[in-house]
Amino acid sequence: MENPKQHIEDLRNLLHQHNYSYYVLSSPTITDFEFDKLLKELEALEKEYPEYADPNSPTQRVGSDINKQFVQVAHKYPMLSLSNTYSLEEVEEFYNRVKKDLNDDFEIVCELKFDGTSISLTYKDGKLQQAVTRGDGVVGDDVTANVRTIGSIPLTLQGHDYMDEFEIRGEILMPWKVFDKLNQERADQEEPLFANPRNAASGTLKLQDPKVVASRKLDSFLYYMLGENLPSDSHYENLKKAKQWGFKISDATRKAKSLEEIAEFIKYWDVERKNFPVATDGIVLKVDSLRQQRNLGYTSKFPRWAIAYKFQAERELTELLSVSFQVGRTGAVTPVANLKPVQLSGTTVKRASLYNADAIDALDLHIGDMVYVEKGGEIIPKITEVDIKSRKPNNEKVEFITICPECGATLKRDEGEAVYYCPNYKGCPPQIKGRIEHFITRKAMNISGGSETIEHLYNGKLISNIADLYTLKWQDVSHLERWGEKSAKNLIESIQSSVNIPYERVLYAIGIRYVGETVAKKLAVGFPSIEQLKQATIEELTQVDEIGDRIARSVVDFFADEENLELIEKLRGFGLQFELSQEIMSQRTNKLEGKTIVISGTFEKHSRDEYKTLIEQNGGKNSGSISSKTNYILAGDNMGPAKLEKANKLGVQIIKEDDFLKMIE
């Protein structure tokens, strides 16, 4: 290559541009596949030419391996918070005070108040230099490595008119969709759920492994530029500039010239925020002119030039009538508060989630207490506070149960876990029904119906496990109460077509503890038939990417159980898929069995990832580094001299892509 440095730079610029189109503008101009190809090409080049390494390269977004405690950094400008209000009257007071103090015309910038975790970014010469959390406002944590993985944060800026050095502050957020998916996965793996996207975002930002951070798909909105020689005296204009440089700035931001316009903005977003992709908890009002901001100055805690109006958390006071305990599919016992019905933002609330024993203790709940219920971001309302003053002396403290309310088994709680569970997984009805319900869900076997369907079939004694579904006859089902011929036939049809659901989804559907959708896919690729999976040892299982001890143990336990093996045999008899599809299988060979291959350089005919897959599909093993165990090096262009030397020293055979393709032909 003639000028690798230039080539690397061009690729980086191109990828920055595509990142921006994708994450900030939400309108990608190339496919993910094309993007990955370019990224791989850059990765390979950076490996070959380590002298041109750059922490702001787009390749760094995937997260580097460094694992360290965070370094504490003092903020150049303290990170203040805003004075809060919940009332429009106080907004009016703020406005009138500003008017009086300035005694001049002024404009107010109205912004959304994003409910995430705040961050301060420093840029030097157009490159992201450092990202620091708020901390105590004076000193925060250096989370740069994690922030680099966030797609909407520019690593290098666009244009040329930015200052040599400046800070920009904003919020790191987890979009609702990502939050819901993450919690679903955590539920599948029986990990504690995040209470809201804010906790999820700040928890993620504090993770020690940037690779995991990258996988969590965080987002950002920036709202405050600081530094000397800012582009304009107008905050609004500065944000516009920031947008041109590639930052994600909210389109909701408006300038207001009167209290009426402010009130309109508040009224609009109080409703519209429910359709916004990230959580917001209010709006922020800022005096636009920086000169006027300086004139107004600060109190000991807050700027006098800004205020946050918080949306009313919808909350009501009602009586706690009783607490019931529900047993889920996995045996986990969830306490639920039964409340005196109360109206809360348009719906009648009768029940509220209590999460677990610790949450009950934290609230110090007593039956008969008057409690505040709130609808946060979550759909299920929760109890946020007890009105202790109104507690009657004989109100009894809520105690967590010790015996399963469904089957009488003694509940267990593992050390360090918050959740009690019923260990009787074979005989406890909600666990049995729950497993069947899980089996039929859309992402599993996609059989029509839901919990009610299973309840009917189970109570009607037509099914007691997942295999029984395949013995159902529409005539039997249609005799059940509230079932007709048509709905019974529909059900049977969808059961019949489920036999074509691919192996990886069957693996997910059979409900092995801790095996969620993603894990099931990994297992299916690592062990392409259930026979292989059955025989896998803990050691073999943990060799698969992302499979840890806990999951491996659970898989082994599952297949050690005779009843589970019988169930699988029955399902196999009904025609369910217990092997990777023919299409994928037919591409598998043993041509590379026992061979360890290292890939190096860039290729013409396939991408590096495709070569990785080809190695695995042909029974070989792909490895990242050359050792005495390496059989071949699949070398493309630009294989590094160090690698070449090592290969020669160890006598490892170097093959070109054509040789390789011939080997597996």
Q: Residues 296-335 vs ligand IVH: string with x where CB under 6 A?
A: -------x--x-x---------------------------
Choose, from 113, 286, 522, 643, the residue flagged as catalytic: 113
How far is residue 173's CA from residue 115's CA, in Å, rounded to a whole number?
7
Kindly tell me which of 307 and 477 has the beta carbon lying closer to ligand IVH: 307
- Of the two residues 218 and 284, which places its CB atom closer to ligand IVH in the complex? 284
Q: Which residue's CB atom is positioned nearest to ligand IVH?
A: 118
Query: Using CA atoms, how far apart are residues 306 and 213, in angstroms rounded to an integer?
Result: 32
C-alpha radius of gyration, the chain, whole number: 30
| 3-class SS shares of the chain: helix, strand, coil, % to 5 | 40, 20, 40
Residues 6+ positions from 176 with CB-CB distance below 8 Å: 197, 277, 278, 279, 377
d(CA 449, CA 46): 52
The nearer residue to ligand IVH, 141 or 171, going by C-beta atoms, is: 171
Closest separation in Å from C-beta 24 to ligand IVH: 17
Task: Say which residues have a Cβ less than 8 Å from residue 327's Cβ, sequence separation at least 6.
Answer: 333, 404, 405, 406, 422, 428, 430, 431
Alpha-carbon distance of 423 to 644, in angstroms, equals 57
Listed residue (264, 298, 297, 301) closest to 283, CA to CA? 264
- Identity (one letter) of the amino acid at 497? S
One symbol per residue from 173 to 212: x for binding ligand IVH (CB under 6 A), - otherwise; what is it?
----------------------------------------
**Nearest to ligand IVH of 114, 603 (CB atom):** 114
Residue range at the interface with ligand IVH (CB under 6 A); choices 80-88, 94-102, 142-150, 426-434? 80-88
| Site for ligand IVH contains 141 (CB under 6 A) | no
Give how many residues touch ligand IVH by CB under 6 A. 14
How near is the Cβ of 121 to ligand IVH at its closest, in Å?
A: 13
**Torsion sign across C-alpha atoms 536, 538, 544, 546:** positive
Q: Is residue 226 involved in binding ligand IVH (CB under 6 A)?
A: no
Q: 592-631 mask for ligand IVH (x: CB under 6 A)? A: ----------------------------------------
Q: What is the rounded distance in angstroms from the CA atom of residue 268 to the CA atom of residue 262?
A: 10
| Annotation marks residue 113 as catalytic | yes
- Closer residue to ligand IVH (CB): 238 or 498: 238
Which runs of E-coded beta strand occur in 75-153? 84-85, 108-114, 117-124, 127-133, 139-141
Is residue 81 involved in binding ligand IVH (CB under 6 A)? yes
Please state the closest distance from residue 195 (CB atom) to ligand IVH, in A. 18
Residue 253 or 602: the one with the smaller Cβ distance to ligand IVH is 253
Using the rule CB under 6 A, give the single segment among 77-85, 266-274, 351-359, 654-662 that binds ligand IVH: 77-85
Q: Decide: 197 and 116 in contact? Cβ < 8 Å.
A: yes
Quote the least distance from Cβ 85 to ligand IVH, whole Å: 11
- Of 130 and 581, the one with the shorter C-beta distance to ligand IVH is 130
Contacts of 226 (CB under 8 A, 6+ apart): 77, 166, 167, 168, 169
CB of 120 to ligand IVH, least distance (A): 10
Q: For ligand IVH, which stretch binds (CB under 6 A), given 4-12, 109-117, 366-374, 455-463?
A: 109-117
Token pair belonging to 169: 């502050």
**Beta carbons of 35 and 15 less than 8 angstroms apart:** yes
Q: What is the DSSP annotation of 606-665?
A: S-HHHHHHHHHHTT-EEESS--TT--EEEE-BT--HHHHHHHHHHTPEEE-HHHHHHHT-
Instruction: Report the residue from 44, 82, 386, 592 that binds ligand IVH according to the rule CB under 6 A.
Output: 82
Contacting residue, 44, 200, 284, 477, with ligand IVH by CB under 6 A? 284
Q: Which two tokens stand for residue 255?
A: 């300038």
Q: How far apart are CA 589 and CA 99, in angstroms?
A: 78
The reply to whether 171 sits near ligand IVH by the rule CB under 6 A is yes
* 305, 286 contact by CB (below 8 A): yes
Residue 114 engages ligand IVH in binding (rule: CB under 6 A): yes
Nearer to ligand IVH, 296 or 525 (CB): 296
Interacting residue with ligand IVH among 223, 265, 309, 503 (CB under 6 A)? 223
Stretch that binds ligand IVH, among 110-118, 309-317, 408-416, 635-643 (CB under 6 A): 110-118
Q: Which is nearer to ligand IVH, 279 or 407 (CB)?
A: 279
Angle at 386 between CA 382 and CA 390, to 5 degrees: 140
166 pairs with which residues across the strands?
123
Residues serving a catalytic function are 113
Could you list the residues that contact ligand IVH (CB under 6 A)? Answer: 80-82, 111, 113-114, 118, 171, 223-224, 284, 303, 306, 308
